[in-house]
């Protein structure tokens, strides 16, 4: 019985050695994080993804990836987003590093899931999904929808001689559109905020003409004017932004022509011309009293600026009657002339247009919850009555006890206006600049008016 026992023990020993190898071969491959150096491990995904719902909007916030300089891509889907269904998800927008937030307005009611991914060098998302870190697993229910942002279904940019033609197809004729121009591609809300705002146009238009400097390549974008400067701006390359730059052709250099031939000499034999006596060639330089002759230092005024020869006429070197030339004395103006000048002055003597704009109220899309009733009371009373001293005092007291960031932003927006109407433009500019990124369209004319009042424009 000893031999069979030895055989069984040997078989068991072989199985124990082979089993770990078999289990290891059956395990799936796991993508390893990128190693920047021997000691540093780079994890290319965000952390602390949070979701908040307000009315018809979904507000996302997160923490950026350390040492990552690319854009963040936000995706929306009606089911949990994975690597297999990412191509069916809607790209809601993209933001630049440091933004760490995005506000989305779903087009209709329902339940939605979100994912925030980093962008690879080729512009594609890095499909790494970690639950509750860069993706949501619980459905986000939207009970009602707000007004959809104005958008364009297509965008075309081309050059036409000395101008750039921008054509697009708007989706809502009742909402205004903003036309932007940038020397860099517009790929995120931060790129749009740094671009040049050419004009805010009506949503019923489908084209725009720009005349940029020649020889400089530019990119263009057309967006909802109310979303410029906010994190709700949706960037869709090729749809509402141009993917290729366009540049006007520089004008061809004008060749330097040969020196023109000398003009034909006019002689007295030509009919109708009086006889011109020949004069000695004048001195090339005019000596002034008490100064040495300029012929001793001809470098004083070299070509192409020869010294003006005031004692000779321009044509044919005809000598003037006297030198220096005596201007006519002051003469009195007739009463009729004075009356005519006064009538012209009264006709065109109009007051310069005022730089002070009308007070601006934020639209319904910026309505705050019931907890901000104190701010609404100030706006409806002292601000609406243009009692600027009382409104400024009340808004200052409110800022000392502001309960939320939204209340603080709106209070600063209205307090900046009170400072403008109290003739304190420098303080108004500083106050309005603090909320310009949130209320870009509403604050821009106020900031321009304050700068003009301060003498900076």
Architecture of the domain delimited by 372-453: Alpha Horseshoe (1.25)
Which tokens in the block code for residue 100?
Answer: 């760490």
Are 106 and 145 in contact by the 8 Å Cβ rule? The answer is: yes
pLDDT of residue 15: 57
Integer Cα distance of 337 and 333 in angstroms: 6
- Helix (H) or strand (E) holding 348, with range, is helix 335-348
Which tokens in the block code for residue 84?
Answer: 């297999």
Q: How many CB atoms lie within 10 A of CB 28?
A: 4
Integer Cα distance of 264 and 278 in angstroms: 17
Are 170 and 152 in contact by the 8 Å Cβ rule? The answer is: yes
Asked if the domains at 41-142 and 152-227 fall in one CATH topology, the answer is yes
Which CATH superfamily includes the segment(s) 152-227? Immunoglobulins (2.60.40.10)
Instruction: Tell the CATH topology of 41-142.
Output: Immunoglobulin-like (2.60.40)
Which tokens in the block code for residue 97?
Answer: 């590093």
pLDDT of residue 188: 79
Domain ranges of the chain: 41-142, 152-227, 372-453
Which tokens in the block code for residue 110?
Answer: 């329902």
Integer Cα distance of 101 and 178 in angstroms: 22
Cα radius of gyration rounded to whole Å, the chain: 38
DSSP code for 95: E
pLDDT of residue 232: 67
pLDDT of residue 28: 35
Q: For the segment 180-218, what is each residue's pLDDT rounded down to a tens digit?
A: 999 999 887 778 878 888 888 888 899 999 989 888 899
pLDDT of residue 48: 85
pLDDT of residue 127: 87
Q: What residue ranges of the chain have pLDDT lower than 70?
A: 1-43, 55, 145-150, 229-232, 253-327, 348-356, 369-372, 402-403, 456-457
CA pseudo-torsion sign 368, 373, 378, 379: positive
How much of the chain is in helix, strand and coil states, percent to nearest 5? 30, 20, 50
pLDDT of residue 73: 92
């Amino acid at each position: 019985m000893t031999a069979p026992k030895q055989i069984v023990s040997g078989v068991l020993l072989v199985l124990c050695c082979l089993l770990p190898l078999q289990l290891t071969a059956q395990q799936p491959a796991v993508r390893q994080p990128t190693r920047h150096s021997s000691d540093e491990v780079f994890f290319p995904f965000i952390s602390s993804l949070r979701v908040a719902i307000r009315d018809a909007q979904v507000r996302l916030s997160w923490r950026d990836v350390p040492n990552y300089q690319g854009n963040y891509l936000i995706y929306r889907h009606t089911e949990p987003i994975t690597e297999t269904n990412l191509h069916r998800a809607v790209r809601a927008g993209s933001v630049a590093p440091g933004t760490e937030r995005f506000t989305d307005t779903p087009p209709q009611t329902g339940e939605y899931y979100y994912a925030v991914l980093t962008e690879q060098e080729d512009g594609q998302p890095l499909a790494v999904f970690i639950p509750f870190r860069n993706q949501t697993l619980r459905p986000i229910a939207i009970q009602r929808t707000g007004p959809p942002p104005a958008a364009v279904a297509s965008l075309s940019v081309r050059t036409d001689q000395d101008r750039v033609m921008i054509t697009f197809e708007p989706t809502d004729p009742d909402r205004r559109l903003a036309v932007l121009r940038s020397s860099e591609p517009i790929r995120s809300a931060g790129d749009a905020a740094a671009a040049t705002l050419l004009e805010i146009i009506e949503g019923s238009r489908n084209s725009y003409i720009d005349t940029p400097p020649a020889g400089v390549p530019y990119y263009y974008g057309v967006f909802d004017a109310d979303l410029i400067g906010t994190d709700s701006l949706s960037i869709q390359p090729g749809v509402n932004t141009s993917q290729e730059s366009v540049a006007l052709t520089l004008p061809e250099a004008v060749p330097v022509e040969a020196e023109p031939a000398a003009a034909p000499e006019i002689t007295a034999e030509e009919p109708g011309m009086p006889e011109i006596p020949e004069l000695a060639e004048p001195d090339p330089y005019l000596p002034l009293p008490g100064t040495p002759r300029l012929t001793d230092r001809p470098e004083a005024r070299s070509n192409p600026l020869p010294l003006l020869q005031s004692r000779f006429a321009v044509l044919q070197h005809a000598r003037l009657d006297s030198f220096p030339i005596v201007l006519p004395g002051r003469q009195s103006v007739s009463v009729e002339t004075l009356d005519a000048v006064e009538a012209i002055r009264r006709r065109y003597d109009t007051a310069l247009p005022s730089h002070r704009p009308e007070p601006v109220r934020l639209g319904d899309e910026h309505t705050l919850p019931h907890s901000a009733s104190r701010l609404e009371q100030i706006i409806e009373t002292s601000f609406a009555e243009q009692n600027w001293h009382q409104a400024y005092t009340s808004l200052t007291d409110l800022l000392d006890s502001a309960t939320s960031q939204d209340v603080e932003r709106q209070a600063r927006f209205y307090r900046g206006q009170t400072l403008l109407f109290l003739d304190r433009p420098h303080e108004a500019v500083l106050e309005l600049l603090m909320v310009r990124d949130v209320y870009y369209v509403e604050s821009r004319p106020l900031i321009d008016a304050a700068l003009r009042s301060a003498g900076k424009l």
